[in-house]
Amino acid sequence: MSTSSENHPRTRKVNVAGFNLINSPRLNKGTAFTNRERDLFSLHGLLPPHVGTLEEQVDRRMRAFDDQRTAFHQYAFLRDLQDLNETLFYALLVRNIEKLLPIVYTPTVGEGCMRFSEIWRKPRGVFLSYPNKDRMRQILSHPRYDKVRCIVVSDGERILGLGDQGAGGMGIPIGKMALYTALGGIPPEQCLPVLLDVGTDNEERLANPIYMGWRHARIRGLEYDDFVDAFVQCVKERWPHVLLQWEDFAGANASRLLARYRHQLCTFNDDIQGTAAIAAATLISAIHITGVPLTEQRIVLFGFGSAGLGIANLLVRLMQQKGCTPEKAQERIHAIDVDGLLVEGRANIKDEQKMYARTAESVKGWKQENGAIRIEEVIRQVRPTALIGVSGQAGAFTEEVVRTMAQHVERPIIFPLSNPTSRSEAHPHDLLTWTDGRALVGTGSPFEPMTLRGKTLQVAQTNNSYIFPGLALGIISAKARHVTEDMILAATTELILHLPTCSDSNACLLPPISEARTIARHIGEAVGRQALREGQAQVADEAELLRALDENHWEPAYEEYERE
């Protein structure tokens, strides 16, 4: 669908009328239906007589939004609006993205998932429950899904840092797909949220009489793998060129499923690859301020599941670009998981983590607690320049840890990236207080600017939404066969070009989120060009790529309707 505007609207053929037209969220205009359209589609009497504009509607809905009592009520309000009138929802979101992003996405979406059954009103996306495993092909075959080009799928097991939310996890694919459109410009009808409902081990959800998911313990093992595989095969058959994004799967499944399917279809995992991209770009931004080259950074990664490993691997690639060998780059990274620092010979180290394990000789004499080297000791011994948290452990960056780090580093880089706010490794106000305002802070959830000793200090939200909308736009525009690590690197590199610290060492680490839609277009171009270079694209050349980017970049504006 091409870009349109209210001054020069495009014409669209519509084959529904009356009540059915008003109840189609993709087609509904509410009071903005013209008198001519009200004649053509039998709308007189169903609407008030006033003929409004999209801008008037945005203003009216924004006032209603501001009247909501809490962030959760604002979230529910926006979800209802999305299910009533998609064009108005996206117009409101695009025009007020800095204010609304924390509601539509982190941190409020976390509560939205926990209370999903309370506010469910209308169908959005697809619930594929385990009892319907034999109906999967039939469910996905409906013509309403013919235009789908990208899917975000979750099984609800690891929603942000909140754990298993079962069917309530659908709030995450819905929120991600909203940002595909609001920031990436991808038309709403091309986006499909999917929840694989394989049960839940959350006793609170199972005991809740209004819980809407399948009331069963979570399916695991071979049954789980077969169900996921049936879904993937149905997707490949239904949409041979679709982009499939995995979202909020438990760590072990997240990396395992990505590895299994990354060469079968066009797919990526935002928790692994998107998080890596935004964390790396924000670290580079901080380096613009500190002046300590990436290859000389001493980096402690706290939390070394799939997200932490993804960050480490991308940082190693960036160091290699600067001339480091892989081995030297890996030595710059100190990885801590639930069992402490990764050390050779320690139990529970996965094969893909082993390259980051320290030798026993290198940590000889370090203090251990029950055989584990904890974060406090790692900070004392390593004297890191950067501390990145993706652990989901609230308060893990204690005053002792931070003050010890700040004793040895002029501008400590500290990124508590776990979401939502309640799972952040530290509050940025504490980080800035404990470091006398010297810390360069990036957080996973949004925090207000801080005032310390009369100086206002910005806190950058190190948010995947800077990356995945543009990444997706480039992938679908290039019709990429697969998502490669070089495409993730291209997205990271492009974002780095737009960092405010490139030209101003006093700037915030990341651009205003209001610029994310423009940046997404640049990232889309960079990713599409990389797909062409790698032979992964199914467009002929760069000119065709640019045309596809234009065609896929939708603006929320009403079209004129004609009867079909």
Query: Catalytic: which of 105, 180, 261, 558?
Result: 105
CA atoms in the 13 A half-sphere facing the CB of 432:
21
Tokens found for residue 418? 């776990």
105 is catalytic: yes
Query: Catalytic: which of 29, 75, 90, 176?
Result: 176
364 is catalytic: no
Backbone angles phi and psi of 65, in degrees to 5: -60, -45
CA distance 393 to 416: 10
Annotate 143-162 with DSSP letters as a single string.
GGGTT--EEEEE-SSS-TTS
Query: How many CB atoms neighbour CB 264 within 10 A?
Result: 14
Q: Consult the annotation and say whether 247 binds a ligand.
A: yes
CA distance 452 to 23: 51
Tokens found for residue 406? 């700040």
Q: Consult the annotation and say whether 197 binds a ligand.
A: no
Whole-number Cα distances in Å, 135 to 147, 451, 524 = 21, 56, 35
In terms of Cβ atoms closer than 10 Å to its own Cβ (0-12, 13-18, 19+), residue 342 is: buried
Q: Are 88 and 57 in contact (CB under 8 A)?
A: yes
CA distance 305 to 324: 24
Tokens found for residue 14? 């519509």
Q: Consult the annotation and say whether 400 binds a ligand.
A: no
Tokens found for residue 269? 């995992």
Q: Consult the annotation and say whether 552 binds a ligand.
A: no
CB within 8 A of 47, min separation 6: which ones? 22, 30, 31, 33, 38
Amino acid 557 reads A
Q: Consult the annotation and say whether 158 binds a ligand.
A: yes
Q: Are 228 and 196 in contact (CB under 8 A)?
A: yes
CA distance 381 to 358: 13
Give, for 11, the enclosing helix (H) or strand (E). Answer: strand 11-14
Q: Consult the annotation and say whether 248 binds a ligand.
A: yes
Residue stretches of the annotated binding site: 158, 247-248, 271, 419, 463
Residue stretches of the annotated binding site for a divalent metal cation: 247-248, 271
- Hey, which residues are catalytic here? 105, 176
